Amino acid sequence: MQFPEILLPNDISVESLQRLFQEANLETRIDGDGDLVVTRGVTCYVIPTQDSVRLLLLTFVGTKDEATTAQKIDFANRVNNQIATVRAHVNQKEKVVFDSHIPIDGGITGVAIVAATKFFLIAIAHAIDSCDDADIVR
């Protein structure tokens, strides 16, 4: 399928994004909730916002059972201090979560979406390698 040079919010759907990532040779699947999952070493969800003006990139990082809440928060804080391009936090279920947003409103190329997603996946791997001082990530 040929994609328009510039993608606008009405061009964005889970299915169109899946085709875009598949054409870029990234592994994809749609999970049981209908969310797009993209993998390249690391796995992330690619979720269009309700109005498709942004894409949410989201990864949940597994931690060891013995990891304390304080260690998880410390890890997230180190990521936020050292890796400016992704955000990390500990959610209510005490999972470490990485996220980033790709703006779509006003238009974006498919190449830019793929590049930003690849960068996000690389940044997560780098964050885990460089910020996991307490060795809590599985």
User: What are the structural domain ranges in the chain?
Assistant: 9-131
- State which H helix or E strand residue 87 sits in: strand 87-90
Say if CB 57 and CB 38 are below 8 A apart: no
pTM reported for the whole predicted model: 0.91
Across the range 108-132, mean pLDDT stands at 95
How large a percentage of the chain has pLDDT more than 70?
97
Task: Name the phi and psi angles at 104, rounded to 5.
Answer: -110, -35
Taken in order 65, 125, 118, 77, the sign of the CA dihedral is positive
Q: Give the CATH number of domain 9-131.
A: 3.30.1460.10
- pLDDT tens by residue, 77-91: 999 999 988 999 999
Which tokens belong to 87?
Answer: 């955000």
Secondary structure class of 103 (helix, strand, coil): strand
The pLDDT of residue 2 is 58
